[in-house]
Amino acid sequence: METNINHSNAHTSHDDQGHHEHQELKFWQKYIFSVDHKVIGIQYAITALLFLLLGFALMGYMRYQLAYPDTAAPYGFGKALTALVGQEMAPDGKMSGALYNSFGAMHGTIMVFLAIVPLAVGAFGNFVVPLQVGAGDMAFPKLNAASYWTYLPGGVIMLISFFVPGGAAKSGWTSYAPLSVISDHGPAFHPIMNGQTLWLIGMTVLIFSSLLGSVNMIVTIVQLRAKGLTWMRLPYFVWAQFVTAFLLLLAFPPLQAAGVMQLMDRIAGTSFFMPTGLVVNGQIWDHSGGGSPLLWQHLFWFLAHPEVYVLILPALGIVAEVVSNNTRKPIWGYKSMVYATLFLGVVSFTVWAHHMYLTGMGTKVSSFFQTTTIIISIPSVIILSCLVISLYGGSIRFNTPMLFAVAFMPMFGLGGLTGIPLAFNATNIVLHDTYYVIGHFHYIVAPGTIFAMFAGIYYWYPKATGRKMSEFLGKLHFWPSLILMNGIFMPMFFQGLAGVHRRWHTGGVVNGEALFEVTKHALHWNSFMSWSAWLLAVAQIPFIINFFWAWKRGEKVGDNPWEATTLEWNTPTPPPHGNFLKEPIVYRGPYEYSVPGEDKDFTPSWEEPKKSKTDLVNL
């Protein structure tokens, strides 16, 4: 670390000494209210993984309802459901329509805002980025802790909302007005302790947390890069986090504004999103009117489309790191990947209304958004192509992180390609709100992003704990997961093309008869997909065992077990508070693998060049 930054300040050395005294911290200071980015990263990781499991559990119940409509789940699962959410929402273990809606909305909310984003940005961003840029910590350590400690209450508020009268929010994760404003509203409900209002409050808190995190991330990357670590020497993962942080910083506030307005609609009786003359249950809604439901959609999707790239960019970053490390060669087209990512970040702010083709948008606007949406597929294809080409000619080590990273590519590709028919407004009209859409974005997020997250966990676990996770259990985790993921999501395309609607809470069947003749032949997939989902849950058991077992019992490893080149492997393992023993200096690009003429197949970026001094430090 640079210590000579302030000559006039005699207290710098004083603080240093103070710090050494602080080494003897109490347990709760060290592991609970820590300001160390690594501890906060691990806190984020564990919390987010728990939420991931919860979101999955909600889906497990929903899939039961879809496969075996209006029957109680066996083996006590149905009873447990009733015990948790009450007889009204789950009569005799059966899932009511309201509970199905509620679980659907909360599955989306939890997965996006409480699981994947905190895992990708909060956990990996926090843990890895300062290490990779050679910083001692994030730029604002206290702010970093504050970000976690606002994220957690946000999650707790969302959890509480399951147990209030009427249950959790049930207007979809998109929370479209006016449906969301009129739900759980009226004298029978508490003005604040009801599902939708708590959802809005929870979201406001979460957005605040993400704001703190993203400011911190950008400042860390801009200001705390090690000596010699120029922009084009940054690992691609850092670039991905950098653009992600900008997306979070600039896309979230409009939703914050929209959330506050919807909160006003629900609590203060305003009409921001409530049109004139709205009739609910045969009665004119008591409001002044004049609001615009489409305004909510604009503000929501202005966030939620960039949010898609928030979900995917860190995943691409992790895959790039793992692929380069395990093919033992530089990633192909590093610069084009970086520029593609920057371009992707900018354009992602101009595509949001492709979620709104069915709102009566005119041809001009539809064409505009159709065009930008197709344009944004270009940088995604560039990045994915670079990753695939990187595999070519490498002597690949198929360890667990690499398996997940390699599987990510076709899965993400499938998700991306099936998105193109949704980008065109003509085909979108047919596919909108069917299972096709669900299949499309789940291919990107589930076997896509989540696989990349697993790759990241297996890859950086040795750095965080000093021990490797078991390869055998890892493979036992990977192969069933890959097959079962496809078992869940591939049939969604078949169903969607047949016209199965995404919100039928009995899976398109009523009293044993298909709801619509046209979808009849596609409904038998329901139970197949459900069984795949439950078996996928079973397939996660090796991972959970592995995760905790390896913490104490895993194979001990050195500082650089993967023989990697980026800066995070230049620290002691696990890294102490302050990370680096001496100030790291970077001499070369991030992926110098198999450099001809070198004695080993990796040249760490921190190793002083032996032969020439020509490409020495240029800050």
Partner 1 sequence: MDIPYTVNNRPDTGLYNAKLGMWLFLASEVMLFGGLFSAYIFLRLGADDGMWPHQILDVKPAFINTMILIISSVTIVQSWAAVKMGNLKKFKLYMGMTILLASAFVGIKSYEYYTKVHHYGLITNTRIQVTGYLDQDKTNDQVVAIIPDKHQAFESGKKFMETKLEAGAVSAGHHEPILFQRSDLVWFSNFMPRYNTFFAIYFTMTALHALHVIGAIVVLAYFWGPGSKMFHTNRAQFANRIEVVGLFWHFVELVWIFLFPVLYLL
Partner 2 sequence: MASTENPEQIKQIVKQHWVIAGLLFTLILISIGIAQIPFVTWAHMAIGLGISFVMASLVLWFFMHLSNERKLIYQVMVFSVIFSIVLVALSLLAYFDHSGYNVKY
Q: Quick check: 40 binds partner 1 (CB under 8 A)?
A: no
Q: 48 or 251: whose CB is closer to partner 2?
A: 251
Binds 362: which of partner 2, partner 1, none (CB < 5-8 Å by kind): partner 2
DSSP 436-500: HHHHHHHHHIIIIIIHHHHHHHHHHHHHHHSEEPPHHHHHHHHHHHHHHHHHHHHHHHHHHHHT-
Q: Quick check: 528 binds partner 2 (CB under 8 A)?
A: no
265-284 residues in contact with partner 2 (CB under 8 A) are: 275-276
Q: 294 or 514: whose CB is closer to partner 1?
A: 294
Stretch in the footprint of partner 1 (CB under 8 A) among 192-200, 294-302, 324-332, 432-440 = 294-302
Contact 96, 89 (CB under 8 A): yes
Binds 350: which of partner 1, partner 2, none (CB < 5-8 Å by kind): partner 2
212-231 residues in contact with partner 1 (CB under 8 A) are: 214-216, 218-219, 222-224
Exposure b/e, 182-193, CB count within 10 A at least 16 = b: bbbbeeebeeee
Task: Name residues whose C-beta falls within 8 Å of residue 500's C-beta, 6 or more positions apart in sequence.
Answer: 434, 435, 508, 519, 522, 523
Q: Quick check: 298 binds partner 1 (CB under 8 A)?
A: yes
Closest contact distance (angstroms) between CB of 400 and partner 1 is 33
Contact 42, 127 (CB under 8 A): yes
Q: Quick check: 292 binds partner 2 (CB under 8 A)?
A: yes
Q: Which residues on neighbouring strands pair with residue 514, listed in sequence order?
A: 509
Q: Quick check: 481 binds partner 1 (CB under 8 A)?
A: no
Task: Name residues whose C-beta falls within 8 Å of residue 346's C-beta, 6 or more positions apart in sequence.
Answer: none
E-only strand ranges, 257-297: 279-280, 283-284
Question: What are φ and ψ of residue 157, in 5° steps?
Answer: -60, -45
Contact 586, 605 (CB under 8 A): yes
Q: Quick check: 574 binds partner 1 (CB under 8 A)?
A: no
Q: Quick check: 251 binds partner 1 (CB under 8 A)?
A: yes
Residue 225 DSSP symbol:
P
What letter represents residue 163's amino acid? F
Q: Quick check: 136 binds partner 1 (CB under 8 A)?
A: yes
Q: Is 611 exposed, middle or buried (0-12, 13-18, 19+ CB in 10 A)?
A: exposed
Q: Quick check: 298 binds partner 2 (CB under 8 A)?
A: yes
Binds 195: which of partner 2, partner 1, none (CB < 5-8 Å by kind): none
Binding-residue total with partner 1 (CB under 8 A): 59
10-39 residues in contact with partner 1 (CB under 8 A) are: 11-12, 15-16, 19
Binds 174: which of partner 1, partner 2, none (CB < 5-8 Å by kind): none
Tokens representing 543 are 């991972």
Stretch in the footprint of partner 2 (CB under 8 A) among 101-109, 249-257, 376-384, 504-512 = 249-257
Q: Quick check: 215 binds partner 2 (CB under 8 A)?
A: no
Q: 35 or 515: whose CB is closer to partner 1?
A: 35
Binds 364: which of partner 2, partner 1, none (CB < 5-8 Å by kind): partner 2
DSSP 38-49: HHHHHHHHHHHH
Site string for partner 2, 228-247 (x = CB under 8 A): ------------------x-
Q: What whole-number distance in Å separates Cα of residue 105 and Cα of residue 599?
A: 56
| 112-to-163, 249, 269, 592 alpha-carbon distances in Å | 21, 16, 29, 35
E-only strand ranges, 134-214: none
Closest contact distance (angstroms) between CB of 371 and partner 1 is 22
Q: What whole-number distance in Å separates Cα of residue 225 and Cα of residue 370?
A: 39
DSSP 330-344: PPTTHHHHHHHHHHH
Binds 92: which of partner 1, partner 2, none (CB < 5-8 Å by kind): none
Binds 363: which of partner 1, partner 2, none (CB < 5-8 Å by kind): partner 2
CA 285 to chain centre: 38
Binding-residue total with partner 2 (CB under 8 A): 26
Binds 408: which of partner 1, partner 2, none (CB < 5-8 Å by kind): none
Closest contact distance (angstroms) between CB of 275 and partner 1 is 8
Binding stretches for partner 1 (CB under 8 A): 1-3, 5-6, 8-9, 11-12, 15-16, 19, 135-137, 139-141, 143, 211, 214-216, 218-219, 222-224, 249-258, 260-261, 264, 268-272, 276, 287-288, 290-292, 295, 298-299, 302, 577-578, 619
Binding stretches for partner 2 (CB under 8 A): 222, 246, 250-251, 254, 275-276, 292-295, 298-299, 302, 346, 349-350, 353, 356, 360-365, 368
